[in-house]
Amino acid sequence: MRKLTKIIVPALCAAMALGAAVPAQAYPTQGRNQSIASQIDELQRAVNRNDRRDAISEREARSLRSDVRQLSKQYRLYSRNGLSRAEYRILDKRIDSIRAKLHVERHDRDRHRW
């Protein structure tokens, strides 16, 4: 009997620990969805605002709007069952990439007259 408990108890503890750790990673959270959605909306507003102010050219604005539209489609596809951590990271990197592109386009000086 003692031999049996030496084998079963550690295996049972390991299984319980693994079972407790996996759901924390696997289940999506609502906060991630809201965070990404609000960042995409803000990105769209930033592109429109910079276009209205002529801080970026029409061609640059079209390209950025297309990027934001594709990002929005990808977000909708991912968020059907909630975002996993991996999906959140992918979307977050794309948002950062589009923000960086907007920053570069805003500061490239090809809309300035001097």
DSSP 26-60: HS--HHHHHHHHHHHHHHHHHHHHHHHTTSS-HHH
For residues 65 and 78, what is the distance between their CA atoms, to the nearest angstrom?
20
pLDDT score of 1: 58
For residues 113 and 99, what is the distance between their CA atoms, to the nearest angstrom?
24
The residue written with tokens 């001097």 in the block is: 114
Give, to the nearest 10 degrees, the angle between helix 30-52 and helix 85-106.
Answer: 10
- The reported pTM is 0.70
pLDDT score of 114: 38
Instruction: Give per-10-residue mean pLDDT for the chain (114 aa).
Output: 65 66 53 89 97 93 97 95 93 97 89 47
* N residues, the chain: 114
